[in-house]
Amino acid sequence: MRMSVIGCGYLGAVHAAAMASIGHDVVGIDVDERKVAALGAGTAPFFEPQLSELLAEGRASGRLRFSSRMADAAGAKVHFLAVGTPQLPGGHAADLRSVDAAIEGLLPHLRPDDVVAGKSTVPVGTAARLATRVSDSGATVVWNPEFLREGWAVHDTLAPDRIVVGADPDAAGAHAVDVLRDVYATAVEAGTPFLVTDLATAELVKGAANAFLATKISFINAMAEIAEASGADVGLLADALGHDSRIGRRYLGAGIGFGGGCLPKDIRAFAARAEELGRGEAVGFLHEVDAINLRRRERAVRLVVDALGGLVFGRRIAVLGAAFKPFSDDIRDSPALDVAVRLRGLGADVVVTDPAALDNAAAAHPQLGYARDRDDALREADAVVIVTEWDEYRRDLSPEHAGGLVRGRIIVDGRNCLDAAAWRAAGWQYHGMGRR
């Protein structure tokens, strides 16, 4: 099937490449000509495992191309809307200007029976508004939210755990749902649930999923605060809770909290939209979820300061990690960089290292020191902080090896990803988040 993907950031570029890999004829469209040139040359402009291979495959097959001209979307049967919806400057609501601009640019090129499939995370009610806007063209709007995890985006696109399509309950909506079922035929035939809802429910699914995930993460971090005050161990607590089939162990890892370009801004936008609908009290707890998350960054900094006896100025601190999560170079609202910047603000000599995100970090925070090699960052450090749980730090770094490089054997495990007993046995002063 011929399709366009409008917006080629993390979501759109992966979606375009993945759709081409399963046999569709795809054009990706973006206003950033440098990004278009890179993608067209088969180069991923950001770090995402397996994406470069898919881009090269799509380019070689002739099924994938990229353009900065909206006119190149003409003739596609399905137009996926994958533009960004960042947080509004000075507010918490979602900024929909890129969504509206994309629809305005697409309108002249729509034909009757075309399907506009929204994938961007938007406030509930947006799809109905856009459907009215495109109705004169004869095209149909459906909403098809994404549930991608950065670092696993290719896998999650090709083998999703569910496909949600929201549509109006009329003949045009039913036809559009059938078109989307054909788009995802490979996944549907493999047993992926294909859920059909109304437009509003499809929009709410993504916001509700992120709100629940953020709440679960902040819940265990709130328990870490109680554990620290009482002498309990939040890791053992999480293990015990995880055996309850109603709760489960996933995302009950206490640490410095979540970040990235989705979860923080999405829960704020979700709460802002609830306020607009007159139901702000229903999600008032999300404000505390956000506050708990931000407090954990402060707690990690305090652990470093206390471990150094309150004398931080001029001390060399190795910060292991810059991306907000492993297998990504995304530094948007990164807890790792937040901790690094706070320590630098206290006068520490901070040296950051990361396998993928170093260039992005250096561009955003030139006041920090950087080392491409992990061991160079560790050398002569007075303290070490693990803030992104890359395998290079949590699995491949031994306490004995690190001990031969540093000046002071102090380590703050901001992700609770290390074997505390092993590090202590090697002579390290180990500090975890909510761990004894």
Give this prediction's pTM.
0.92
Contact call for residues 413 and 433 (beta carbons, < 8 A): yes
Res. 138: pLDDT tops 90: yes
| 61-77 per-position pLDDT tens digit | 999 999 999 999 999 99
Q: Please give the average per-residue pLDDT across 4-20, as a whole number.
A: 97
So which residues are the catalytic ones? 262
> Which pLDDT belongs to residue 24?
98
Tokens of 174: 């039913």
Tokens standing for residue 187: 């996944």
Cα 265 to Cα 58: distance, rounded to the nearest angstrom: 32
- Chain position carrying tokens 């609908």: 277
pLDDT tens for each residue of 79-104: 999 999 999 998 999 999 999 999 99
- Phi and psi at 159, nearest 5°, equal -135, 65
Residue 4 pLDDT exceeds 90: yes
Mean pLDDT confidence for 388-413 = 97
Residue-averaged pLDDT of the chain: 96
How many CB atoms are closer than 10 A to CB 62?
9
Q: Find the radius of gyration of the CA atoms of the chain.
A: 23
- Which ranges constitute the DSSP H helices of 308-352? 335-345
What is the sign of the dihedral through the CA atoms of 84, 90, 91 and 92? positive
Confidence band, pLDDT 50/70/90 cuts, at residue 123: very high
Confidence of residue 436 (pLDDT cuts 50, 70, 90): confident
- In order of 136, 141, 210, the CA distances from 144 in angstroms are 22, 10, 16
- Number of helices and strands in the chain (H, E): 18, 14
Distances 265 to 258, 319, 369 between C-alpha atoms, Å: 11, 25, 28
Contact (CB, 8 A) for 96 and 271 = no
Distance CA 100, CA 225 (A): 43
Average pLDDT over residues 231-252: 96
Backbone angles phi, psi at 122, to 5 degrees: -130, 160
Distance CA 296, CA 233 (A): 16
Asked if 29 contacts 72 with a C-beta cutoff of 8 angstroms, the reply is yes
High-pLDDT (> 90) share of the chain, %: 99
